[in-house]
Structure 1
Amino acid sequence: MTLRRELDRYLRHVSIERGLSPNTVAAYRRDLGAYLDALEEKGITEPEAATEAMAAGYAAELAAPSEHPLASSSLSRKLSSVRGFHKFLVDEGLTTTDAAQRLAPPKLPSRLPKALTVEQVQALLDATGGDDPQALRDKALLELLYATGARVTEAVSLNVDDVFDEDIVRLRGKGDKDRIVPLGSYARRAIDDYLVRSRPIFSARGQATPGLFLGSRGQRVSRQNAWLVIRRAAERAGITEEVSPHTLRHSFATHLLQGGADVRVVQELLGHSSVATTQIYTLVTADTLRDMYTTAHPRAR
């Protein structure tokens, strides 16, 4: 019942029972291997012998100033690995004390969403022009993503009946919560063109499905295919930044706030359960205003 033996059991547990990817399991193995090396240097090889003081000492060593300090994200991941391992030891009845229960991860810096400019979005949408069935579908998909701020899963899960005549769409978000979002004239026209001139062609190639966006074989478009549609459009538009479906969601929120929309309205449109989640976009807008002020005001610099 050594720590090394239990580490192998833990890695099998996270791989099989929790379904973690091979890359994640390999990261756990590296992180926890280094942790057990540090414990063994102190003569600790059994689960019961590991104490809170030892775990805290290891965390302090990781966080100590050095020539090549760990990034906050790397330190957080390593401590998370240690916490998970010790919790496993307790859950399995191999020790009565969770030596890592007091380990606190470092506070990670807030990551502001990356939004495209209005001009970049325009170039992206213009890059999906064309009259063939796939181009019409891609245009409708991208126009909808930007017009509604939908998550990619919400978009590819849409049925034809979810698009109403009143130029609104019903999106089913997290927790199966429905919300109604306006479409806008550009998205409505693109969807109408797709429904009349493109979707019937795709639908005839497969089994009947209520799905709105269909692939070449008549099946629903997958999340991966939606990502590829955006990547190809970004390449054609000459956009060098990384662009994903979520980039359009970020751009939707940021542009609304820049245009004067109330943050609580944007919260409802995005389907956020808390306004605090939406308020991160106000930081993006504040940064933009600060840059404009610095550039334009004669006494700003």
Structure 2
Amino acid sequence: MRAAGQPETTLYLRSYHMRRFASETGRAPFPMTVDFLAGYLGGHAKLGASSRNSMRSSLRAFYRWAHLTGRIDTDPSASLPKVKVQTGRPRPAPTKAVDEGKRAHDWRVRLMVNLAAHAGMRCGEIAKAHTDDVFPDLVGSSILVHGKGGKERTVPLRDELEHMLKQLEPGYIFPGRIDGHLSPGYVSKLISEALPTNVTGHMLRHWFATNAYRGSGGDIRAVQELLGHASVATTQIYTLVEDGATRRAVNF
């Protein structure tokens, strides 16, 4: 997978799923049957469909590799039933929750919340952010975001966020012992602890998308660029249409 250019986050997730599979089943990976794999996924019905679909993808990748490299004669995951994932709905954090996170005692957490809520950055992107990523543009400053799959995007910075970033010493914005910076999981944990119950760090990204959509006058393509989505359809999941907008749309 590394040779194929898969991002480190994907490598970690695939490895985690297979370690979990081995731990929970207590059996060797070979030989294996599709019935056993289907039963394993079915036993995790309490997980969300997207989580189970991700687990299925890890199993498929592992057994496809085992088959291609001659470790097994047939791929037991080839006919593994697909997990139906419903189209998600926008889940922006309440503005009061965003404000609460921005008042966190730890300056690092305040900055993390601002990067998520005002630059639309994922926890993994926040973890890897470096002061060298901040650069001047024609009207202020922007940040180069290192996104999923090695993709990069540029996000303009609000004045207050630009000021916060320019106060930092050169280097990773959130130094840590793993590769020099904090892990995405730890960033997610810190952000979640600063927010009210049932509000997650990713909901800050939804909040950013919704407000960016309104602020741009409904320019979904602009929001797509800011979020780093390959498809506008994905961006639409992030943008909540305000109450009354659909009624105003038909009153022409």
TM-score range, shorter chain: 0.5 to 0.7
Amino acid at match of 2:96: E
Q: Which residue of 1 aligns with 2:131?
A: 160
Q: Does 1:178 align with 2:152?
A: yes
Does residue 98 of structure 2 align to residue 121 of structure 1?
yes
Q: Which amino acid aligns with 1:212?
A: I
Between the aligned partners of 2:57 and 2:183, the Cα distance in structure 1 is 35
Q: Any conservation in 2 of the 1:79–1:103 contact (CA below 8 Å)?
A: no
Paired residue secondary structure (2:153):
strand
- What is the alpha-carbon distance in structure 1 between the residues aligned to residue 133 and residue 60 of structure 2? 46
AA aligned opposite 1:107: K
**What's the secondary structure of 2:191's corresponding residue?**
helix
Q: 1:265 is matched with which residue?
A: 222
Whole-Å separation in 2 of the counterparts to 1:79 and 1:243: 24
Q: Indicate the structure (1 or 2) with the bigger Cα radius of gyration.
A: 1
Kindly tell me the number of residue pairs found equivalent between the two proteins: 220
**1:109 maps onto 2:86 in alignment:** yes
Report sequence identity in percent.
Answer: 28
For 1:168, what is the secondary structure of its paired residue? strand
Contact 2:18–2:59, Cα closer than 8 Å, also in 1:
no
Report the counterpart of residue 145 of structure 1 in structure 2: 116
**1: CA distance, partners of 2:91 / 2:165:** 26
- Return 5+ residue gaps in structure 1 as ranges: 1-16, 37-54, 64-69, 130-134, 201-208, 295-301
Residue 248 (structure 1) aligned to one of 181, 204, 225: 204
- Alpha-carbon RMSD across the aligned residues, in angstroms, is 4.4
Match of 1:136 in 2: 107
Are the equivalent residues in 2 in contact too, given 1:75–1:105 (CA < 8 A)? no
Which structure 2 residue ranges, 5 or more long, are not aligned? 1-13, 248-252
Q: Which amino acid aligns with 2:213?
A: L
Does the Cα contact within 8 Å between 2:97 and 2:199 map onto a contact in 1?
no
- State the one-letter code of the partner of 1:227: S
> Residue 252 of structure 1: CA displacement?
1.0
TM-score scaled by length of structure 1:
0.55
Taking structure 1 as reference, are residues 22 and 98 closer, same or farther at Cα in structure 2, changes over 3 Å only? closer
Q: Give the C-alpha shift of residue 86 in structure 1.
A: 8.8
Q: Specify which structure has the bigger relative contact order, considering alpha-carbon pairs within 8 angstroms and separated by 6 or more residues.
A: 2
- Distance, in Å, in 2 between the alignment partners of 1:106 and 1:248 is 27
Structure 2 distance, partners of 1:211, 1:140, is 13
What amino acid maps onto 1:24 in structure 2?
F
Tell me, yes or no, if the aligned pair for 2:120 and 2:204 is still in contact at 8 Å. Answer: yes
Give the match for residue 223 of structure 1: 184
- Determine which of 238, 246, 250 is the counterpart of 1:281: 238
**What amino acid is the match of 1:257?**
Y
